[in-house]
Amino acid sequence: MRFSRFTSFSRAVSYIWLGGLALIVLFPIAWLTLSVFKDSNAIVADPFALPTALSFDNIVDAWEQGDFGRRYLNSAIVTIVAVTGILVLEGAAAYAFARLRFPGAAILFGIFVAGQLVPSQVIVLPSALQISAMGLSDTLVSLILQYLSWAPFAILFLRAAFMAVPKELEEAARIDGAGLFTILWRVILPMTRSAFATVGTIYALWIWNDFLFPLVYLQSADNFTVPLGLAQFQGSYTTYWGYLVGAIVVAVWPPLLVYGLLSRQLQDRLSFAGSKG
């Protein structure tokens, strides 16, 4: 009886704790979503009042004044190309570490594991010097190369996914006459699709929201990504709260929608990876 009461009490505490955390996370998003329909004077006069009418003027004005169409295009180009390259290159490296045997494999894998422990801020200056020496400063290519060279987590995660695939399936495919690329395309990739989707989602959200690397590598406003465009917009329209809220909503909601659509698959895959040790 005591154990049952303790279990009920602990469950209630857990629900209260999770509810409080959810409120802390969701309140700013809800406030932004409601405030975007109010003008600057209404936001300043009563920040927590509900909007009296649905007006999209703040979003439209912020989109036009902040040139967010170009910012979105730049972010989309960098994100799509970089994530595609990460899935291909890091996927190939992960398969090599999981299945192939070659001299120095353990040392190379140890380097990738160590790279996971190094903060990205440490490599900013050396990378910027290399990019400058290559003549790629202030280009979207510099950002793409940076992201391609800094994805150790993708190798670790995909390697674990490949190792979870039974070797007997590959051996059976080889007996049937399948080559390496056929095995990868017909056997390995279908069984690790969720792992690739998880890695793609994680890196897409990181690259889209990244502020540090674009700040270091990009100087021209025409090349700015969404986070840099938002920072520039905030500096220009500090007192126009309606414009600011509209710009923040324009910048925040797309990655939230992407995560909302893929969150179940992402959580399931991460839970599976954790249970596999």
pLDDT per residue as tens digits for the range 72-128:
999 999 999 999 999 999 999 999 898 888 888 888 888 877 877 888 788 888 888
For the segment 191-213, the average pLDDT, to the nearest whole number, is: 90
Q: Where are the alpha helices (DSSP H) in the chain?
A: 2-35, 40-45, 57-65, 68-99, 105-117, 124-133, 140-148, 152-163, 167-175, 180-183, 189-191, 193-209, 212-217, 226-236, 241-275
For the segment 146-171, the average pLDDT, to the nearest whole number, is: 89
Q: pLDDT tier at 264 (50, 70, 90 boundaries)?
A: low
**Looking at the predicted structure, is the pLDDT value of residue 44 above 90?**
no
**Looking at the predicted structure, is the pLDDT value of residue 274 above 50?**
no
Distance of alpha carbon 262 from alpha carbon 256, whole angstroms: 10
Most confident range, picked from 120-124, 142-146, 239-243: 142-146
Q: What is the pLDDT of residue 271?
A: 55
Class of 53-275 in CATH: mainly alpha
Burial class, 69, CB count within 10 angstroms (exposed 0-12 / middle 13-18 / buried 19+): exposed
Rounded percentage of the chain residues whose pLDDT exceeds 90: 23
For the segment 184-207, the average pLDDT, to the nearest whole number, is: 89
Task: Tell me the average pLDDT of the chain.
Answer: 84
**Looking at the predicted structure, is the pLDDT value of residue 269 above 80?**
no
Q: What is the pLDDT of residue 145?
A: 92
For the segment 214-228, the average pLDDT, to the nearest whole number, is: 91
Distance of alpha carbon 98 from alpha carbon 184, whole angstroms: 13
Q: What is the pLDDT of residue 277?
A: 45
For the segment 156-177, the average pLDDT, to the nearest whole number, is: 88
Rounded percentage of the chain residues whose pLDDT exceeds 70: 91
Predicted TM-score of the model (pTM)? 0.82
Higher pLDDT, 141 or 103: 141
Q: What is the pLDDT of residue 218?
A: 92
